[in-house]
Amino acid sequence: MSISLLLLIVAVIGVAGYLIGSWRANALAGGKLSNLHSRPGYYGSFVAIWSILPAVVVLFVWVIASPIYISSTVRAGFPEEVKAEPQATQNLNYNMISAIARGFKVLTAEEREALFKDGATARDVLASKGVPVAAEPAPYMLKSADDLNRMTTTSSTWLSILVVIVAAVGAFFSYRSIAPKFRARNRVEGMMLVGLIAASSIAILTTVGIVASMATEAIHFFNMVPAWEFFFGTTWDPRFAAAGATASAGQFGLIPLLAGTLYIGFVAMLVAVPVGLFAAIYMSEYASRHVRSVAKPLLEVLAGIPTIVYGFFALVTVGPFLRDISAQLNGLVTGNYSNFIQAQSVLTAGFVMGIMLIPYVSSLSDDIITAVPRALRDGSLGLGATRSETIKRVILPAALPGIVGALLMTASRAVGETMIVVLAAGVAARMQLNPFEPMTTVTVKIVNQLTGDLEFTSPQTLVAFALGITLFVITLCLNIYALYIVRKYREQYE
């Protein structure tokens, strides 16, 4: 019986449990609902939950555990000389057996018999049925495949029986426990609470898992390359090594990448902070309600544009434009029409990233400025201050901690931004101060190191994880500090 059909049956039992449970509760109430501890629906839900939940848990455990058990049983049946081979070869053999087992299912019983008698043609026969097998299978494989199929069928049968029984037993006992004084509501709500907690733990555990996996790979990297060479090295030259080449071929200095990241982020903030802040001040203090209702969503549309599109914009429009205009300027001043701004440069990437960040700055700052109590505005205006004096002397100082927090959050986005810099910043890991030249960032190098055919044993690839975790720590620190500042600021008005 297929899993989906099984789930359907369990669901049907659950729905039936709900209906019967509600009906039973109604019957017990005898027309007067106040006789019951909870409303009838809760009794129904209680039965439904006990029908579905244990059955589904059994189903999942079985689905995960049974292939592991079957695989180990099949492997135990391998001939001794095969067991002596390395683990990787055994895995390959097992994969082949699985393929054959899949093939057996599309063969008729006679064809299968024929294969056992004359194993030599197995590969061709299976191929003719559309099941590719890597090599001509050894005789023991046919037998193992047969075992595998048999065990899978048995497992599936037992699974079906067990799940249906568990669902039925759950329904039966929960139905039996229905009584007027039974606290069904508390039970159901308790189970809901467990579900909510589980949902939030998944989010947190995922983060922990990501960090753990990055950290493990990064530790592999630091086993090959000393940490101080990575963190304080000033040369980035990973030397893409062919598979199996010696590990120490490249130099992995983080400093040039970090410099590029911070430089481009700085240029981006230089664009985004004034524009975004002024936009926020206009939106929150000057714009009439009508203008605000149109302009604010339009501004926030910028935030919805995928960053790869900004990347195109930088690559196709802004970069060439800056290059050409610099050539024209140079020509006008010196007569030599050569461009001094490269198409891919710190300026291009920073400028476009700045545009991307404007809505973040303006939206966050707008919220913070609007949160300054109206009483403070009135107080200042009532003293004869103009609007701009009120903004400069009362509102911005009051909102400053919050705005700083918002800017820090924006900065952490700038540091982690990838697609724009991949397209617009260049790939040359250089340390220099000219914003018209290309530089590269941590994120660009992560992309570079993880593109193409990879071997996850060389430092050339593993360095991506070290870079990733460095980036993660930087943005995490920025975000935590930003949250700390924002929270401290909020306390002032409560």
Give min distance, CB of 393 to other proteins, in A: 7
Give min distance, CB of 60 to other proteins, in A: 55
The span from the CA of 188 to the CA of 49, in Å, is: 8
Q: Please work out the total of residues on this chain that contact other proteins, with binding judged by CB under 8 A.
A: 21
Question: CA 278, 279, 280, 281 torsion: positive or negative?
Answer: positive
Q: Work out the end-to-end distance of the chain between its first and last CA atoms, rounded to an integer number of angstroms.
A: 60
| Tokens (6 digits) for 471 | 């980036």
| Tokens (6 digits) for 274 | 């004034």
Q: Closest CB to other proteins among 234 and 386? A: 386
Q: Closest CB to other proteins among 76 and 375? A: 375
* SS3 state of residue 237: strand
Q: Closest CB to other proteins among 217 and 366? A: 366
Q: What distances in angstroms separate CA 217 from CA 101, 205, 222, 463, 466, one per listed residue?
A: 36, 18, 9, 9, 8
Give min distance, CB of 299 to other proteins, in A: 20
Q: Closest CB to other proteins among 331 and 379? A: 379
Q: Residue 244: which region, alpha, beta or left (left: phi > 0; alpha: psi -120 to 50)?
A: left
Give min distance, CB of 344 to other proteins, in A: 46
| Tokens (6 digits) for 350 | 């920073």
Give min distance, CB of 371 to other proteins, in A: 13
Q: Closest CB to other proteins among 75 and 490? A: 490
Q: Closest CB to other proteins among 101 and 398? A: 398
Q: What distances in angstroms separate CA 154 from CA 157, 425, 484, one per listed residue?
A: 5, 59, 58
Q: Closest CB to other proteins among 111 and 378? A: 378
Give min distance, CB of 282 to other proteins, in A: 15
Q: Interface mask (CB under 8 A) for other proteins, residues 221-240, using x and -?
A: --------------------
Bridge partners, 252 (sequence order): 236
Scanning 206-214, 245-253, 332-340, 369-377 for contacts with other proteins by CB under 8 A, the matching segment is 369-377
Give min distance, CB of 314 to other proteins, in A: 40
Give min distance, CB of 365 to other proteins, in A: 17
Count of alpha carbons within 13 Å of 226, Cβ hemisphere only? 4
Q: Closest CB to other proteins among 136 and 378? A: 378
Question: CA 132, 137, 143, 148 torsion: positive or negative?
Answer: negative
| Tokens (6 digits) for 251 | 């130099």
By the 8 A CB rule, do 129 and 103 touch? Answer: yes
Q: Chain centroid to CA 58: how far?
A: 28
Give min distance, CB of 381 to other proteins, in A: 6
Q: Interface mask (CB under 8 A) for other proteins, residues 370-409, using x and -?
A: ---x-xxxxxxxxxxxx--x---xx--xx-----------
By the 8 A CB rule, do 268 and 439 touch? Answer: no
* SS3 state of residue 251: strand
What are the E-state strand segments in 108-227? none
Q: Interface mask (CB under 8 A) for other proteins, residues 474-493, using x and -?
A: ------------------x-
Among 87, 200, 246, 288, binds other proteins (CB under 8 A): 288
Give the number of other CB atoms < 10 A from CB of residue 337: 12
Q: Closest CB to other proteins among 154 and 386? A: 386
Positions touching other proteins (CB under 8 A) are: 288-289, 373, 375-386, 389, 393-394, 397-398, 492
